[in-house]
Amino acid sequence: MRHDTAHQIPGRPDPTLRRRRRRIALGVTVGLLLPVAGGAAWAADRFLVEHVVISDVSAYEAALGTTASAGATSDATSDATVTDTTYTSDDTSISIEQVTTGSGDDTVTYYVADVVLDDATQLRSAFAQNQFGENITALTSEIAQDVGAVLAVNGDYYGFRDSGIVIRNGVVYRDEGARQGLAFYTDGRVEVYDETTTTAEELLADGVWNTLSFGPAVVTGGEIVDGIEDVEIDTNVGNHSIQGEQPRTAIGVVDENHLIIVVVDGRDEGYSRGVTMTELAQIMIDNGATTAYNLDGGGSSTLYFNGEVVNQPSNGGERATSDILYVAG
């Protein structure tokens, strides 16, 4: 009679036991892979999948009575004078300068936008795809064209994170204080502040028009801020450090309604290596800034003027972002 049982060879493990061990091993492997797969799904949902909170920002702001929505889509001022590097109208003056320093591997190339406004609310913000939420992106130039901007720069990439106070064009979008922010007031003041010590509603009541949540501040009181080379903005996936020589974007204030925007190109040997945070601070001071704040940089650093991207983004082209700061034409 045939028996469907395995014969054990002396000195070797019982094959039945081996099968059991294989089942156990397979179970352990699957058990280990499940958290990995779950983590990948979580990361994709958190950092890639669009989560729309407000689907029509223009309508939302208009319903709340802010002036940005109407101004953003207005026709360009007919009497504005525009050249390749300047824009002048009755209420706005913009000049763009390219600066190159050093040589060889030490070359640094950056662009300075000197902006004088008649009214602080002329500096506006716009979201990618006219929507507010997480992971909603578009190119800086696309967002700028959608709102009729003559000048635009990438913002703080608010949509990459779920924290930070977000007030844009006089409207509160998020109230999750987490870091050092920058506040633009309707009266022309620009101040660095601690998000964790206030609320969005308190800021709004005090006259804040726009906030930015990235940082750090690199200049205060006309001096370089101590410790900026050691600051870590976020500790989440993909954004651990902003140190070293990098492409940069920063905004600073020279005087009431007089702003400086600097975009530094980088990661391109012989053209521009990028700059450290301290070097960025010095550039801002050299251009008259008494307060200056670091924005999202790297491949995001993009300066748009009069229908074109002025600088050379380090990705070989623009990288999509979640928001811009702009001045309408």
**Looking at the 3D structure of the chain, how many domains does it have?**
2
Structure tokens at 180: 């050092």
CA distance 55 to 61: 12
- What is the pLDDT confidence band of residue 234, given thresholds at 50, 70 and 90? low
Contact 277, 298 (CB under 8 A): no
Mean pLDDT within 74-79: 54
Paired strand residues for 308? 305
Q: What is residue 79's predicted lDDT score, i.e. its pLDDT? A: 86
Count of residues in the chain: 329
Q: Are residues 167 and 257 in the same domain?
A: yes
Q: Are residues 117 and 131 in the same domain?
A: yes
Among 24-33, 179-188, 228-237, the range of highest mean pLDDT? 179-188
Among 79-83, 199-203, 241-245, the range of highest mean pLDDT? 199-203
226: Cβ–Cβ under 8 A, 6 or more apart, which residues?
none
CA distance 41 to 62: 37
57 three-class SS: helix
Contact 213, 160 (CB under 8 A): no
Q: Are residues 19 and 125 in the same domain?
A: no
Q: What is the mean pLDDT of the chain?
A: 87
Q: What is residue 92's predicted lDDT score, i.e. its pLDDT? A: 97
Q: Are residues 109 and 92 in the same domain?
A: yes
Q: Are residues 163 and 312 in the same domain?
A: yes
Contact 273, 266 (CB under 8 A): yes
- What is the pLDDT confidence band of residue 47, given thresholds at 50, 70 and 90? low
Q: Are residues 166 and 288 in the same domain?
A: yes
* 141 in a structural domain: yes
Residue 35, preceding peptide bond in cis (omega within 30° of 0):
no
44 three-class SS: helix
* 319 in a structural domain: yes
- What is the pLDDT confidence band of residue 36, given thresholds at 50, 70 and 90? low
pLDDT tens track for 131-148: 999 999 999 999 999 999
Q: Are residues 240 and 272 in the same domain?
A: yes
Q: Which residues of 220-248 are buried (b: 16+ CB within 10 A; e: fewer)?
A: eeeebbeebeebebbeeeebeebeebbbb
Q: Are residues 18 and 67 in the same domain?
A: no
152: Cβ–Cβ under 8 A, 6 or more apart, which residues?
126, 140, 141, 143, 144, 303, 304, 305, 324, 325, 326, 327
Lowest model confidence (mean pLDDT) among 67-76, 199-208, 235-244, 266-275? 67-76
* 6 in a structural domain: no
Q: Are residues 56 and 173 in the same domain?
A: yes
pLDDT tens track for 178-232: 999 999 999 999 999 999 999 999 999 999 999 999 999 999 999 999 999 988 7
Q: Are residues 177 and 210 in the same domain?
A: yes
Contacts for 37-44: CB closer than 8 Å, 24+ residues apart? 43/237
Q: Are residues 95 and 63 in the same domain?
A: yes
Nearest to residue 168, comparing CAs of 124, 214, 217? Answer: 124
What percentage of residues in the chain have a pLDDT greater than 70? 80
What percentage of residues in the chain have a pLDDT greater than 90? 75
142: Cβ–Cβ under 8 A, 6 or more apart, which residues?
128
pLDDT tens track for 300-318: 999 999 999 999 999 899 9
For the cut 90, the answer to whether the pLDDT of residue 70 exceeds it is: no
For the cut 60, the answer to whether the pLDDT of residue 245 exceeds it is: yes
Q: What is residue 46's predicted lDDT score, i.e. its pLDDT? A: 64
Lowest model confidence (mean pLDDT) among 207-211, 241-245, 286-290? 241-245
For the cut 70, the answer to whether the pLDDT of residue 83 exceeds it is: yes
Contact 120, 165 (CB under 8 A): no
* 184 in a structural domain: yes
* 90 in a structural domain: yes
* 15 in a structural domain: yes
pTM of the model: 0.84
Q: Which residues of 170-203 are buried (b: 16+ CB within 10 A; e: fewer)?
A: bbbbbbebebbbbbbbeebbbbbbebeebebeeb
Mean pLDDT within 251-255: 98
- What is the pLDDT confidence band of residue 23, given thresholds at 50, 70 and 90? very low
For the cut 70, the answer to whether the pLDDT of residue 292 exceeds it is: yes
Contact 61, 70 (CB under 8 A): no
Other CB atoms within 10 A of residue 39 CB:
11
For the cut 60, the answer to whether the pLDDT of residue 84 exceeds it is: yes
| 149: containing domain | 52-328
Q: Are residues 20 and 123 in the same domain?
A: no
DSSP string, 166-227: EEETTEEEEEE--SEEEEEETTS-EEEEEGGGS-HHHHHHTTEEEEE-S--EEEETTEEPTT
* 199 in a structural domain: yes
* 135 in a structural domain: yes
Q: What is residue 14's predicted lDDT score, i.e. its pLDDT? A: 47
